[in-house]
Amino acid sequence: MRILIVEDDPLLADGVAQLLRGAGYTVDYVASAEQAETALLTNNFKLLVLDIGLPGMDGLELLRRLRSHNNPVHVLMLTARDALNERVKGLNLGADDYLTKPFAAVELLARVNALLRRSRGQNNQRREFGPLSLDEDAHRAWLQGLPLELPRREWAILLFLLDNLERVVSKERIVASVCSWDQDMSENAVEVYISRLRTKLEPAGIRIRTVRGLGYMLEDLTPHGTKPA
């Protein structure tokens, strides 16, 4: 899950980024709405944490432009405590939620988690796929009822595959999803992480199938899951 923070206060932006990265999200941030527009054209973000009071184009105008182009990205607005009119206007323009400054870190994280669960149509943070179970908020996984250890990269790639069930995803899309701009991961590294996930998952009947020349797809080969082709 990739998040873009649009905030011109560098200390606040960095603090929010570190909080969300610590929760397992891939996070980038920019200081203006104009930079955000450019970033959204070339990257697949699931959520914007959008400050309203930006220099140049403000956050409300960016939000208006996004919705006028039918961009479905979730938007969590950050507003001044006394800016009731801005909050109402933002919600009417299509924002999903808002927080007033100053805010508690735990509340920001809870609202981000809730919005991203909503994007998957989930009512809770627990995800099930055959013998695999994940609790996204707790960052814990189980396979056939036993704890499954997943380092951060393996966790992120597995979640991306779960978000794209019945779709083949390329190495390029995996890299774009799990890496922020200040990070680097080669396509060869993707192969290594996929290999490690296979070693852990396949004995329980979950396969990461390679579609030659296209990418990977997650399959449940247990009796009630997806049958092998």
Domain ranges of the chain: 2-119, 126-220
The 10s digit of each residue's pLDDT in 84-134 is 888 899 999 999 999 998 889 989 998 998 888 776 655 456 788 999 999
The 74-80 sheet, strands edge to edge: 26-30, 2-6, 47-51, 74-80, 97-101
CA distance readout (Å), 12 to 16, 58, 81, 101, 112: 6, 17, 16, 10, 16
Q: Does domain 2-119 have CATH number 3.40.50.2300?
A: yes
Rounded to whole angstroms, the Cα distance separating 74 from 129 reads: 25
Q: Where does the pLDDT of residue 41 fall: very low under 50, low under 70, confident under 90, or very high at 90 and above?
A: confident
> What would the mean pLDDT of 139-143 be, rounded to a whole number?
89
Residue 174 has pLDDT above 60, yes or no: yes
The pLDDT value recorded for residue 36 is 95
Q: Of 24, 70, 164, nearest to 173 (Cα)?
A: 164
> What would the mean pLDDT of 26-55 be, rounded to a whole number?
92
The pLDDT value recorded for residue 94 is 93
Residue 141 has pLDDT above 70, yes or no: yes
Rounded to whole angstroms, the Cα distance separating 163 from 167 reads: 9
CA distance readout (Å), 220 to 139, 178, 223: 22, 23, 9
User: pTM score > 0.85 for this model?
Assistant: no
The 10s digit of each residue's pLDDT in 145-168 is 999 999 888 998 998 898 888 889
From 3.40.30.10, 1.10.443.10, 1.10.10.10, 1.10.3720.10, which CATH number describes the 126-220 domain? 1.10.10.10
Which H/E stretch holds residue 111? helix 105-119
The 10s digit of each residue's pLDDT in 194-225 is 999 999 999 999 999 999 889 999 999 887 66
Would strands 206-211 and 126-129 be described as parallel, antiparallel, or unpaired?
unpaired
Q: What's the mean per-residue pLDDT of the chain?
A: 87
What 3-state DSSP class applies to 5?
A: strand
Question: Where are any strands of DSSP class E within the chain?
Answer: 2-6, 26-30, 47-51, 74-80, 97-101, 126-129, 132-135, 140-143, 146-148, 206-211, 215-220
Would strands 2-6 and 146-148 be described as parallel, antiparallel, or unpaired?
unpaired
